[in-house]
Chains A and B, each alone.
Chain A
C-alpha cells in the first residue's frame, strides 16, 4: 500500500481577476512507504506548491490526496494541523527554529504538542543528539548556530516526533556544498534506519544524483519520474 497517493491533483492561484497561475496540474503520483524521493525542476515548476499540498499547508484546487489510504485533501485547517502533528515532519529552507528557544527546546517542541511524556522526550533527544552529533549544540539558541547546524537541529526535530513522512523543501538551499551533502547523507541514513518516507526538493544536481527516485517537474506537471 502506498503511503501517499495523489490523484489528478491541481492547484491554480488566482491573482486579481484574470491572472491565473497553474502551479500544479493534474498530477498523479504514488509514493511507497520508506521511499526517499527527490523532487526537482526549474524555479517556478511547482515543487514548493506540490510539497505544501501534500503537507496540507495549502488546499488543492482539484484532485485528491490520500495519506495512508485516508483522504486528507479538503480537511479543515484544524484537522489538518492534527494530521501534520502526528504524521508529517517538515524541514524548510529557513526560519525552521523558534528563535527564543534553545536547540533542545526546539527539538522537544513537537513532542510536547504530541503530549509525549517528558522522560521519553529526553530519551529520544539523547539518542538523536548522539546520532547526529549535535550533543554540544543542545543548549544553544538558533542564532548561535551556523546554517548547517540549524538545519541539523531541524532534521532532529522532525525525526524525534516519529512522523511517517518528512517533507523537506529545499532544506539545503542556504548551505554550501559540503554542508548540503552532510545533511542529505543524514536524511538518507535516517530514511534507512527509521524507515521514514522522505520527500525532498532541490535544485542541486549533486544531491539529485544521490536519490533513488527522482521526480522532475516542469510547468506544474511531472516531466520525468526516474527510479535508479
Chain B
C-alpha cells in the first residue's frame, strides 16, 4: 500500500515540473550556501584559534601560580625539572616550548611603545611560532652570539624599522632595576595573532635571561597535545603530578581560559549556524508552503474522490507529506552535493581574501581561509530539510481537511 501512496505522491510532484524545479533549486541553493558557510566559518575559526594557540599558550600553558594574572617577571618557574619530566612522560603531549616573557618598551630611532618581549628557543618553536611560516622579511634565525630580534609586522610598521636596524628594549629586571639592551632586527613576521603582530619582540631565550637577570629561569611552558579531546584530562594529570613532585605551586591553564573570547566565539558558533539556518529556511519554507498549498488546492476534487472511495484522511495526509518530503530530499541531495563541492575546493585550495586582508589580519584572521568539512554538516542539513518539508505541509494539509474534499466532488 505504501508503494502506491509513494508512487502517487512522486508522480503528483512532477505534474508541475517548473514549480517543483524552482522549489528544488531554492532548497538546494539554501542548503549549499549554509553548508558552505558553516564549513568556511568553522575553518576560519579553527585557523584563528590555531594561529593564536601556536604563537602563545598552546593547548594549555604551565606557569607559576598567579603568573597569568600578574604577568610579572618575578612570577617565574624556578623548579623547571618536574615540569619537563611530567610533559615528557605524558603520552598525549605532542610538543612543548619554554618561554620567558616580560612587558617592556621598544624604541626605534624615532618611536617607542609598549611591547611584550619574548625569549624563545627558535629550534623548539617549529610547531609553535614557526609552524605556519610567518616570516615576511629577513630570516627566522637568531644568532647565538649577536643580539638579534624578530618583530611583528604591525609593530615594525609602527616603529618604522627595517631589517638591519637596531631597536632598544627596556624593562624591569628580576631585581627590579630598569635595564635596556640594543637588538638588531633580523626578521619581520606575521602570525595572524594580533598580540604577536602588534606587540611582540622575539629574542633568544639566553639573551633575555641575561638581560633581565633571570638566572636561567623561564616564565611559562606552552604545550600542544595529540588528542584535543583529551586535553582537559592531560591538564589535570600534569597538575596532579606537579602538586606531588614539586615544592613550587603551578597553574595549568587551558586555552579556553586564556582566550575566553575565542572560546566563546567557538561555542557560540553553533547558535550562529542555527540562527542562519532558521532565517534562510524560514524563507524557503514560505515558498515551499505556497507552492504546496496551490498544488493541493488544485487537486481538492481528486483527493475528494480518493476519500469517497474509502481512503482514510490519514493516507491522503501521508501522500501530501511524502510529496513535500521527496522535494526536500531532492533539494538535500543537490544542496549537499554542491555544498560539499564548494567545501572540498576551499578545504584544499583555500579562498584568497587578501583584498580584505588588512582588516581581517587585525581581527586575527588569515588572508587565505581554508574550510572544514564534517559529516555533521550534512546531518544538520538533513534535519533542517526534514523539518522544513514537514512544517511547510502542515497548513496545506489542514486547509484541505477544512475544505471537506468529499463534498467538493458534487461541484464538478
A interface with B by C-beta (< 8 Å): 48, 52, 55, 57-58, 77-78, 81-82, 84-86, 88-90, 92-96, 98-101, 105, 108-110, 112-115, 157, 161, 169
Contact = CB atoms under 8 A, between A and B. Distances in A.
B: contact size bracket: 20 to 34
Contact of B308 (A57, A82, A115): A57
Nearest to B312: A81
Contacts of A112: 1, 4
B221 to A, nearest CB: 71
Contacts of B312: 78, 81-82
Contact of B412 (A55, A58, A93, A113): A93
A105 B306 CA distance: 13
24 contacts: A48-B410, A81-B307, A81-B313, A84-B310, A85-B309, A92-B409, A95-B302, A95-B409, A95-B412, A96-B305, A98-B8, A98-B302, A98-B305, A98-B306, A99-B302, A100-B8, A100-B12, A101-B11, A105-B4, A105-B7, A108-B4, A109-B309, A114-B310, A161-B309
A82 B310 contact: yes
Interface of B: 1, 4, 7-8, 11-12, 15, 301-302, 304-313, 315, 406-407, 409-410, 412
Given A99-B15, A112-B1, A84 B309 contact: yes
Nearest to B405: A57
A121 to B, nearest CB: 11
A88 B307 CA distance: 12
B310 A113 contact: yes
A158 to B, nearest CB: 8
B305 A115 contact: no
Contacts of B11: 100-101
A142 to B, nearest CB: 10
Contacts of B409: 57, 92, 95
Contacts of A100: 7-8, 11-12, 15
Closest A-B pairs by Cβ, 8 of them: A85-B310, A100-B11, A84-B310, A57-B406, A81-B312, A94-B412, A95-B301, A90-B308
A96 B301 CA distance: 9
A147 B308 CA distance: 20
A100 B319 CA distance: 13
